[in-house]
Chain A
């Protein structure tokens, strides 16, 4: 029964993750520590957001739980916002939208950028030049401006925002994959595969993709952080996802109006949460890029 085997494999993977992380941290020095620290940070934030209905002290969307604009105190450890909502509860519950947007946009980038990069660079010639030209022009353009234009055109919503962000970052995937494929393409084992008459699909999937995979993981992780920051930026410009659930980006934007009154807690805590989330992914990406691909360290991705 093949499916039994599969289930067993899955279980063993899950069981080995935690000791695996610890051993990575020990063996690989600073890079390993970065990965582990980033992973833990990210995991904690995701877990907090996921479990928020169970652990919030107040209903995060309910107004007038406390007096408006209370500074942090014993009852409301992070204060209240301008309509008297509990900031602590909003912080605990506010990561959902951003995580969803980032996740979907990275998924879109993977689904479009990776096959396109493989296909174009393997095909070469006019096809390659055509796609490279388009990707390079998008890449060279200020990302957030493109994202603004697209999210305007597409309208609001998690998926639309994710698409707008994905448009900006597909070229990063395309370029990394292309440069790798171009260097792999000429190697003898690909020639060998060609000479025994392997199909293009087989070559791309079986021979080239595994070599490119580490870079894809690195770009994807770093990109997650970028996507979160871009999503926050779009929300700040006023193009956010209109939701009635709490959102750090929205709170931060809301806090801008309240700045002159000196209520620092309304902006500080959501801002820190966004930084921590982006930092988790950045650290993982940094560490992974050093672990998986030591040569990539110098330039960085952006």
Chain B
């Protein structure tokens, strides 16, 4: 009864990151096979330096306190947790080339590929989400 969940992360804000990783870890905990394709600003989520300081949307900075109060895990923690649970990360090669980034700048054991790498996984996914 394993389902496949394919997620595209293409925006780089903190709220976007939570949407991506909450759904991804919840799906992995429910015995689903999950892959996330990180492209354009979404690549920041798995960038070792950037993912600890993702921006809040303009004017929403006051939510920082709410995040702390609700004891929400940090994005780097969620990244580690997702990987431990077998969520597969695919970094977009084209974006990395455009931004002049190497694979070493990202968290370990990501796969780097083009759109087709993701499409190959997503073609028979039961759930596909774009954030």
A, B from the same assembly: no
Q: Which residues of A contact B (CB under 8 A)?
A: none
